[in-house]
Amino acid sequence: MKTLVTYMTQTGNTQRIAEAIFDEIAGEKDIKEIKDASNFEGYDLVFVGFPILQFNVPANVSKFVSENAAGKNIAFFMTHGVPEGFEAIKSWTGSLEDVAAGGNLLGTFECQGEIAQNVLDMLEKSDDPEMKAFAELGPGAKGQPDEAHVQKAKEFAKEIQAKVQ
Ligand SMILES: Cc1cc2nc3c(=O)[nH]c(=O)nc-3n(C[C@H](O)[C@H](O)[C@H](O)COP(=O)(O)O)c2cc1C
């Protein structure tokens, strides 16, 4: 049983979750940023992590997964500025089943991640009231993912791994 944890991060939030998952999983394992990972070959289970950027799954992430998903056990983890369970998340991610088509999608973990100050400044200055409203989420996201979220990510890692053993 060999596991890959691969992720994209810009400000470290998704990396924090990636490392928590990586620490928790048993057996042979590797952790790599997506930019340093070439494919899923040789892995029985792959955790793929990303931040939501501009109301989307980053294009390089969906491309990498869809090119490599065939026949693989896959689990996603993501961080986003909005609180967990925020209604729009589903429309932003679309169908992660489609991204992992041809593979076996075992589960998805999501948690809030602190929003970079330059993004908050940009939202704050926007003329669009919806964008301005997002800026108000900044204080609530500060310090996320916190220790409680890290623990939840570890539980997720264990649950997913149990599904393939
Ligand atoms: C350019 C940019 C766009 C973002 N767009 C969204 C968004 O559409 N929805 C959201 O909930 N969070 C958004 N965020 C917040 C990030 O998803 C969140 O801060 C995430 O935890 C960052 O992860 P990272 O530190 O691993 O890069 C955005 C952040 C950046 C920098």
Report which protein residue has its CA nearest ligand 1's atom 6: 53
CATH number at residue 35: 3.40.50.360
Report which protein residue has its CA nearest ligand 1's atom 3: 53
77: containing domain = 2-115+141-164
State in Å: Cα 50 to ligand 1 middle.
Answer: 9
Structural domain contains residue 19: yes
pTM of the predicted protein model: 0.97
Q: In the prediction, which pLDDT does 165 show?
A: 74
Number of domains present in the structure of the chain: 1
- Distance, in Å, from the CA atom of 35 to the CA atom of 14, rounded to the nearest integer, reads 14
Pocket of ligand 1 (CB under 6 A): 9-15, 51-55, 79-82, 113-116, 119
Structural domain contains residue 29: yes
Lowest mean pLDDT among 23-27, 115-119, 131-135, 144-148: 131-135
Q: What angle do CA 76, 116, 63 make, to 5 degrees?
A: 35
pLDDT tens digits along 2-13: 999 999 999 999
Structural domain contains residue 121: no
State in Å: Cα 149 to ligand 1 middle.
Answer: 17
Tally of CA atoms within 13 A in the half-sphere of 88 that contains its CB: 12
Atom of ligand 1 nearest to the CA of 16: 26
Structural domain contains residue 131: no
Structural domain contains residue 133: no
Radius of gyration of the chain (CA): 16
Structural domain contains residue 63: yes
